[in-house]
Structure 1
Amino acid sequence: MIVIFLVGVGSFLYGLSSEVIQPDFALFTVSFLFLLGVSQTGVVFTAVLRLVESNWGKPWYRLAELSTLAFFPFAILGFLLIYFFGRDELFYWLDATPEEHLSPWLNYRWLLIRDLGGLLLFYGLAIAYVRKGLRPDVVNDDGAPPIDCDKVEKELYLFSPIMIGAFIVCNTFLAWDFAMMIIPHWHSTVFPIHYWFGNVFAGTAAMIVIAVVMRNEDGGSKFGPEQIKSLGMLLTGFTLLWLYFFWAQFFVIWFGNLPNETEPIWRQMYGHYSPYFWTMITGCFFVPFVALLFAIVKRSVLAMCIIAFGINLGIWINKYLMIVPVFSPDNRPFDHWIDIALALGLLAGFLATVMILAGRVPKYSAWEMSRKT
């Protein structure tokens, strides 16, 4: 993993120094936003399950939270790289003529403040949230006096809505600046919801990876049929919610029939990008909706892995279609080795950090798993 990450860093530096080959910042932004959203879902996933006092999801808590913290350095560094090296291309709308009269907050300084501030707010709260849930297990391992778990449980319950709110604020800023603003004169109150819920959808589906890894490591003692089936039931509901938000977004644009709004949508649905669009719909709705109707599918780890892969592929394409068609009528993703190396390097660095963190702290929230609600 470390080697692949270093190759990705090297390819990025090579692309910046080369006059012939330049990194595709739009494509790098897609992979960055995808991994950022999927990883941030870890803390949101645990926060939601704590609020509803779920028992089945407790084996996921610790590793889901660590996956969020693992992307912290990549989130800050990735955003700064895009801001300083790719902003002229991606944030072209900030270079408006004086006659266009942009709002005072639509400038480079405020873009940096709100997006970087949103990321720092989310990760600052996430670190505090994870440390609070980790402390009972760490203190018990050190032989120190036991902590009042009832108090910690109540504090986490009260902290969870704040954590979810920070996630929504952070991702709303990103949805505005990285996707909605690149389409001139487009304003949508539904789009940020569609954006951040897509992250939750993909991140929840990706939880099956944790179950597979841990079942192989400890024989699956913590991730039994109940956990896999319950995750499948949750994904069934999320599939319908994703379609609802997608349709709410699409219907308003279609019914309004304003050329500046419909043209980007038609470019996604027809012509060069049509196969990508229908792959997204198939992976995010058709396949999971039909497959998850059957209980036997929700009990199968292999079937759940295939469905989760399709959902994550669909959400990656969703972000690709949000950004790339605006800049290019016929782009092909990963058309050059630099683009592949950048995406794989970012993924490898993230996974390597998850493994490093998982090796330093207990992999399960034992104190919560021992408590039944």
Structure 2
Amino acid sequence: MSETAKTPATPPRARAEIDLAALRANVRTLRAQAPGAAFMAVVKADGYGHGALPCARAAVEAGAGWVGTATPEEALALRASGELPADVRIMCWLWTPGGPWRETVEAGIDVSVSGLWALREVAEAARAAGRPALVQLKADTGLGRNGCQPADWGELVAAAVRAESAGLVRVTGLWSHFACADEPGHPSVAVQLALFEEMVASAERAGVRPEVRHIANSPATLTLPESHFDLVRPGIAMYGVSPGPALGSAADLGLRPVMTLAASLALVKHVAGGHGVSYGHRYVTPGETTLGLVPLGYADGVPRHASGTGPVLVGGKWRTVAGRIAMDQFVVDLGGDEPEPGAEAVLFGPGEHGEPTAEDWAQAAGTIGYEIVTRIGARVPRVYVGASV
């Protein structure tokens, strides 16, 4: 594999180190929570910012039999790479009219259908391709986003059964998605689960024989064994980030964060007290001190909302973003310490060496860990470690 890249002798401006060994360990931990279910590794949004293809390969090595994406373009790119085993199933679920239905049918990708318009388009594509489409019907059991409403479910199921009888589709799955599984005990969870079971039963009475029924995301995989059915779909937990503070930290859940975001200090300088720092002078040095310039900014995905609060490890000590985070850079007050330019500044990582975690940054920015890792941009090179040989 090519994921054995090591940090070059001359450190880059910044890097996101991706520990594939940690990802494989997380997949095994999650599989152990649902031993009777197949495992779909969700790698949408470029593997939550970690790199879709390397993470998909690592997950498959750890036992994933399915890979999930949001868009068909993401799914087609994975299939076109030729680097996943042919028997690994790929599914995508976010469609708009006129999407690349035929290409996905020809690639043998499972596609999600939530309405009659989508079923019509995929059936037409299957007719043109000369092979049946692999279709999974999505039920809206209460999330209120994609998925078919219960009142329309019978009509959609009947149309899918007719298309299957005509040889245009094969209904491979019935599925849904939780709204509040990251909030243990939330009343909507039991309501959604019961409604999903009802909608599955009605589809099966109408003649659907799905290969897989699934509703469990990361938090449900970890905490709701009754939701595991035939397949579970972990996303963020696979990358070692807790699905929500109510469930505990990643360490509490037996998971190890996969991404470490670090940069090389671009400048260290002495300034007097009363010195304004960054745009708007929202931070003014309280006394004589040293400032370190970190060459990462919101163009790289560092959240501007963490201005004045974001934690950074420099020289073995936690520092805090001083002033506003700019497009390409931000400043930390080093309190008189004098690390050399080029010294490492770690924004987040597993937390095992005293560094902040993505969850610390989420708290600082008033957001969730998902957003912190997913938003790290393409300008930050990914350096892969822990690859199998």
TM bucket (normalised to shorter chain) is: under 0.3
Larger RCO (alpha carbons 8 Å, 6+ apart): 1
Give TM-score, length-normalised by structure 1: 0.24
Give TM-score, length-normalised by structure 2: 0.23
**Structure showing the higher strand proportion among its residues:** 2
